[in-house]
């Protein structure tokens, strides 16, 4: 794998350790918050504030990274913030403190996202973007397999001991910070200084290539109806799966995602990023239609297998696609702007899904999302051309 440079490998290992830490807490976070007195409404407010923070900071820090011509400091600081936020959640249980710690974690994600993806883009050629982003997603998602598995093992021997788990999660996070020290900044000529105001990155929308706006518009419409994976797990639970099986299928989904991200990226470089992305959307529509049916465990296992293939075909692929249709000097801004809007749309998506579920039931929620996805597929097929790679900007 000649295209996997030392920098790509280090970044992927950093993401692996960070995801182990984050996903170790994912299955227990809502339960833990309830045990310290958080209502469902307060948990929703907490997550909403955290995602809004991540959304704004991705665009802002992506723009700042491009302005400074620096990447590595943003990556290191972002992973460090996420690391120290883990034990902070267990030290005190005051609502304001918990809000601060959770927001700090999301701010860390916003701080590193644009700069990290810009590094990945710079390390690749236009013909290897799918492979590079696919490899990174595979390593990142492997952490989403290891993390929940460790949490299940720990809680099997120490049930209800949630606080200790937050302290344990600090150590893989610390390993990620240590690994990030092996990243080296590539010296570049500083770009002309531009506005560093909080919303300066928003100006990029008007300055960006028309193809970027077309692609991102389709991605955001899809995100607006792509609710949290929690709803898939809730549907599985509602259909009679035990708590252990629900977490089990979540781990299985992440395993499929991790295993297929690199092979899918390799195929994408050969037949086109757009083609693979649309294939992923077709899988997504099929999964959500299947979720509208009250199926048995084997059907759900198959649907989560397809869902893992969908994730492998869209997550890294979308960023590779964006990086191929924008100038190299704007990569962090372009990805940060998209990721920021994506976070905000995801917040609205989950709220909308919750309202539809509460009002008309689970089946209507999944059928609606499936139908909208078909519309988005048609949009990408007929309104968005296959990009001609801007080799001069990305080589």
pLDDT in tens, 277-335: 999 999 999 999 999 887 778 898 999 999 999 999 998 899 899 988 988 888 888 88
The three-state (H, E, C) secondary structure of the chain, written as one string: CCCCCHHHHHHHHHHHHHHHHHHHHCCCHHHHHHHCCCCHHHHHHHHHHHHHHHHHHHHHHHHHHHHHCCCHHHHHHHHHHHHHHHHHHHHCCCHHHHHHHHHHHHHHHHHHHHHHHHHHHHHCCCCCHHHHHHHHHHHHHHHHHHHHHHHHHHHHHCCCCHHHHHHHCHHHHHHHHHHHCCCCCCCCCCCCCCCCCCCHHHHHHHHCCHHHHHHHHHHHHHHHCCCCCHHHHHHHHHCCCCHHHHHHHHHHHHHHHHHHHHHHHHHHHHHCHHHHHHHHHHHHHHHHHHHCCCCCHHHHHHHHHHHHHHHHHHHHHHHHHHHHCCCHHHHHHHHHHHHHHHHHHHHHHHHHHHHHHHHHCHHHHHHHHHHHHHHHHHHHHHHCCCCCCCHHHHC
- Rounded to the nearest integer, the mean pLDDT of the chain is 85
Pick the CATH number of 6-182+206-387 from 3.40.640.10, 3.40.50.2300, 1.20.1560.10, 1.20.1250.20: 1.20.1250.20
Q: Rounded to whole angstroms, how far apart are CA atoms 109 and 112?
A: 5
Per-residue confidence (pLDDT) for residue 41, from 0 to 100: 62
Describe the crossing of helices 331-360 and 40-68 by its angle, rounded to 10 degrees. Answer: 160
Per-residue confidence (pLDDT) for residue 13, from 0 to 100: 96
Per-residue confidence (pLDDT) for residue 392, from 0 to 100: 38
Per-residue confidence (pLDDT) for residue 347, from 0 to 100: 76
- Could you tell me the CA-to-CA distances from 226 to 186, 350, 383 in Å, in that order? 37, 8, 21
Per-residue confidence (pLDDT) for residue 395, from 0 to 100: 35
The domain ranges of the chain are 6-182+206-387
Describe the crossing of helices 230-238 and 362-383 by its angle, rounded to 10 degrees. Answer: 140
Per-residue confidence (pLDDT) for residue 110, from 0 to 100: 87
- Could you tell me the CA-to-CA distances from 23 to 16, 164, 262, 266 in Å, in that order? 10, 15, 21, 27
Say whether pLDDT at 195 is over 90. no
For the segment 154-171, what is each residue's pLDDT rounded down to a tens digit?
A: 888 888 788 888 899 999
The percent of residues in the chain predicted with pLDDT above 90, rounded, is: 41
Say whether pLDDT at 353 is over 50. yes
Q: Rounded to whole angstroms, how far apart are CA atoms 95 and 229?
A: 25
């Amino acid at each position: 794998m000649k295209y996997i440079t030392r920098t790509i490998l280090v970044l992927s290992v950093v993401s692996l350790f960070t995801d182990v830490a984050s996903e170790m807490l994912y299955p227990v976070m809502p339960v833990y918050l309830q045990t310290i007195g958080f209502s469902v409404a307060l948990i929703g407010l907490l997550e909403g504030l955290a995602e809004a923070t991540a959304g704004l900071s991705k665009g802002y820090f992506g723009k700042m990274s491009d302005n400074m011509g620096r990447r590595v400091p943003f990556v290191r600081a972002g992973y460090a913030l996420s690391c120290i936020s883990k034990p902070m959640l267990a030290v005190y249980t005051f609502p304001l403190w918990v809000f601060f710690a959770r927001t700090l974690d999301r701010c860390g994600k916003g701080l590193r996202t644009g700069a990290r993806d810009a590094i990945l883009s710079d390390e690749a050629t236009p013909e290897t973007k799918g492979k590079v982003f696919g490899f990174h997603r595979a390593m990142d998602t492997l952490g989403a397999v290891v993390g929940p598995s460790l949490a299940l093992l720990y809680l099997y021997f120490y049930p209800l001991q949630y606080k200790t788990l937050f302290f344990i999660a600090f150590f893989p996070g610390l390993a990620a910070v240590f690994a990030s020290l092996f990243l080296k900044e590539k010296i570049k000529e500083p770009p002309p200084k531009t506005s560093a105001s909080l919303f300066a990155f928003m100006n990029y929308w008007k300055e960006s290539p028309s193809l970027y706006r077309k692609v991102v518009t389709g991605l955001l419409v899809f995100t607006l109806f792509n609710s949290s994976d929690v709803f898939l797990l809730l549907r599985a639970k509602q259909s009679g799966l035990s708590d252990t099986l629900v977490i089990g299928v979540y781990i299985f989904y992440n395993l499929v995602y991790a295993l297929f991200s690199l092979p899918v990226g390799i195929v994408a470089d050969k037949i086109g990023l757009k083609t693979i992305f649309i294939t992923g959307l077709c899988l997504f529509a099929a999964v959500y239609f299947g979720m509208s049916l009250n199926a048995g465990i084997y059907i759900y296992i198959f649907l989560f297998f397809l869902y893992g293939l969908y994730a492998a075909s869209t997550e890294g692929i979308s960023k590779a696609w964006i990086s191929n249709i924008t100038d190299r000097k704007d990569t962090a801004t372009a990805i940060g702007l998209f990721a920021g809007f994506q976070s905000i749309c995801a917040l609205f998506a989950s709220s909308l899904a919750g309202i539809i579920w509460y009002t008309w039931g689970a089946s209507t929620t999944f059928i609606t999302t499936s139908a909208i996805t078909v519309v988005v597929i048609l949009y990408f097929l007929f309104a968005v051309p296959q990009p001609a790679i801007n080799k001069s900007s990305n080589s």
